Structure 1
Amino acid sequence: MSACVEETAFSKTKETTRIVIIGAGASGIAAATKLLEQGFKNVQLFEAEDRIGGRINTVPFANSFVDLGAQWCHGEEGNVVYETVKDLDVLDRTGDFAVYFVRSNKEILSDEQTKVLKEFKDEFEVKPDCEGSVGDALNESYWKEVGQKAFPDNRTIAKEALDCMKRHICSEDACDTVSELSPRNYLNFHQSGGDQNLSWRQKGFWKFLSILLNANEDQPGDQGVLKGHVHLNKRIAEINWSGSGETTLRCWNGQIVSADHVICTVSLGVLKEKHPKLFVPALPADKVRSITGLKLGTVNKFLLEFEVQPFPEEMRGIACLWLEEDLKELRGSKFFWLESICGFHRVDRQPLLLEGWIIGAHARYMETLSEEKVLEGLMWLFRKFLSFSVPYPKNLLRSQWHSNPNFRGSYSCYPTYADELRTGRTDLGSPLVHVSGRPRVQFAGEATSQTHFSTVHGATESGWREADRLIEFYKGRAEN
Structure 2
Amino acid sequence: MNTTKVIVIGTGPSGIAAGTKLLEYGFQDVILLEAEDRIGGRIHTIPFADNVVDLGAQWCHGEKDNVVYEMASKHNLVAHTEDNFYLFQCIRSNKEIVPIKLLERFKSIIDNIVEVTANTDLLTYKGSVGDYIDEKYFEALKAPENSDIDPAIAKELLEHFKRYENSVDGCETVNDLSAKGFLEYSECEGDQALTWKETGYHSILRVMMQSNESNALGVLDKRIKLGKSVNKISWNEDGSKIQVQCKDGEIFEADHVIVTVSLGVLKDKHSTLFHPKLPVEKIRAIETMGIGTVNKIFLEFSTQFWPNNWNGFSTLWREEDLAEIRGTNRAWLEDVYGFYRVAHQPRILSGWVVGANARHMETLTDDEIYEGSMYILKRFLEMDIPKPVNFKTTGWYKNENFRGSYSYQSVRAEEVNAKPSDLASPLESSTKKPLVLFAGEATSDHHFSTVHGAIETGWREAKRLADLYKS
Q: Shorter-chain TM-score category?
A: over 0.9
Within a 5 Å distance, the mapping from 1:45-56 to structure 2 comes to 45-56=32-43
Which one of 57, 60, 65 corresponds to residue 44 of structure 2? 57
Deviation at 1:151, TM superposition (A): 6.5
Partner residue, 1:115:
104
Structure 2: stretches of 5+ with no match in the other structure: none
Residue 125 (structure 2) pairs with residue 130 (structure 1) = yes
Deviation at 1:40, TM superposition (A): 0.5
Partner residue, 1:415:
410
Which one of 10, 16, 32 corresponds to residue 29 of structure 1? 16
Partner residue, 2:395:
400
How far apart in 2 are the matches of 1:153 and 1:187? 30
Residue 321 (structure 2) pairs with residue 321 (structure 1) = no
Letter in 1 for 2:91: V
Closer, same or farther: CA 84–288 of 1 in aligned 2, 3 Å: same
Deviation at 1:422, TM superposition (A): 1.7
Deviation at 1:373, TM superposition (A): 1.0
Partner residue, 1:223:
217
Deviation by residue 1:278-308 (Cα, 9 ceiling, x = unmatched): 0011000000000011011000111111112
Letter in 1 for 2:34: E
Partner residue, 2:194:
198
How far apart in 2 are the matches of 1:318 and 1:120? 21
Which one of 27, 48, 56 corresponds to residue 69 of structure 1? 56
Which one of 221, 238, 242 corresponds to residue 236 of structure 2? 242
Residue 325 (structure 2) pairs with residue 336 (structure 1) = no
Letter in 1 for 2:444: S
Deviation at 1:37, TM superposition (A): 1.4
Deviation by residue 1:446-467 (Cα, 9 ceiling, x = unmatched): 0000010000000000000000
Q: What is the TM-score of this pair, normalised by structure 2?
A: 0.94
Q: What SS does the corresponding residue of 1:54 show, helix, strand or coil? A: coil
Letter in 2 for 1:465: R
Letter in 1 for 2:446: T
Letter in 2 for 1:240: S
RMSD: 1.6
Contact 1:76 1:192 in 2 (8 A): yes
Deviation by residue 1:16-69 (Cα, 9 ceiling, x = unmatched): 961000001100000000111111111010000000000000110003011100
Q: Greater CA deviation, 435-444 or 122-131?
A: 122-131
Letter in 2 for 1:403: K
Deviation by residue 1:116-157 (Cα, 9 ceiling, x = unmatched): 223444452323222211011111222233576567252111
Contact 2:181 2:414 in 1 (8 A): no
Q: What SS does the corresponding residue of 1:260 show, helix, strand or coil? A: strand
How far apart in 2 are the matches of 1:68 and 1:306? 18
Contact 2:258 2:437 in 1 (8 A): yes
Q: What SS does the corresponding residue of 1:339 show, helix, strand or coil? A: helix
Which one of 76, 84, 89 corresponds to residue 89 of structure 1? 76
Contact 1:247 1:258 in 2 (8 A): yes
How far apart in 2 are the matches of 1:192 and 1:153? 34
Within a 5 Å distance, the mapping from 1:382-393 to structure 2 comes to 382-393=377-388
Contact 2:124 2:180 in 1 (8 A): no
**Structure 1 residue ranges (4+ consecutive) displaced by more than 4 angstroms after TM superposition:** 146-151
Q: Greater CA deviation, 405-414 or 346-355?
A: 346-355
Residue 264 (structure 2) pairs with residue 263 (structure 1) = no
Within a 5 Å distance, the mapping from 1:351-366 to structure 2 comes to 351-366=346-361
Letter in 2 for 1:279: F
How far apart in 1 are the matches of 2:404 and 2:315? 24
Partner residue, 1:8:
none
Percent identity between matched residues is 47
Deviation at 1:393, TM superposition (A): 0.9
Q: What SS does the corresponding residue of 2:195 show, helix, strand or coil? A: strand
Closer, same or farther: CA 350–80 of 1 in aligned 2, 3 Å: same
How far apart in 1 are the matches of 2:186 and 2:425? 20
Residue 438 (structure 2) pairs with residue 455 (structure 1) = no
Closer, same or farther: CA 390–146 of 1 in aligned 2, 3 Å: farther
Deviation at 1:115, TM superposition (A): 1.3
Deviation at 1:428, TM superposition (A): 0.4
Closer, same or farther: CA 259–372 of 1 in aligned 2, 3 Å: same
Structure 1: stretches of 5+ with no match in the other structure: 1-15
Deviation by residue 1:338-357 (Cα, 9 ceiling, x = unmatched): 00111011111111111110
Residue 195 (structure 2) pairs with residue 188 (structure 1) = no
Deviation at 1:206, TM superposition (A): 1.1
Contact 2:61 2:192 in 1 (8 A): yes
Contact 2:300 2:349 in 1 (8 A): yes
Deviation at 1:201, TM superposition (A): 1.4
How far apart in 2 are the matches of 1:414 and 1:195? 23
Q: What SS does the corresponding residue of 1:32 show, helix, strand or coil? A: helix
Q: What SS does the corresponding residue of 2:470 show, helix, strand or coil? A: coil
Q: What SS does the corresponding residue of 1:91 show, helix, strand or coil? A: coil
Deviation at 1:184, TM superposition (A): 3.3
Which one of 134, 138, 141 corresponds to residue 143 of structure 1? 138
How far apart in 2 are the matches of 1:265 and 1:342? 31
Deviation at 1:441, TM superposition (A): 0.2
Q: Greater CA deviation, 326-335 or 310-319?
A: 310-319
Contact 2:44 2:54 in 1 (8 A): yes
How far apart in 1 are the matches of 2:147 and 2:383? 26
Deviation by residue 1:389-419 (Cα, 9 ceiling, x = unmatched): 2212111111100000000000000110111
Residue 433 (structure 2) pairs with residue 438 (structure 1) = yes
Partner residue, 1:9:
none
Partner residue, 1:207:
203
Contact 2:162 2:174 in 1 (8 A): yes
How far apart in 2 are the matches of 1:223 and 1:458? 22
Deviation at 1:330, TM superposition (A): 0.9
Deviation by residue 1:308-337 (Cα, 9 ceiling, x = unmatched): 223223321211111101101111211110
Letter in 1 for 2:456: E
How far apart in 1 are the matches of 2:352 and 2:147? 26
Residue 464 (structure 2) pairs with residue 469 (structure 1) = yes
Q: What SS does the corresponding residue of 2:350 show, helix, strand or coil? A: strand
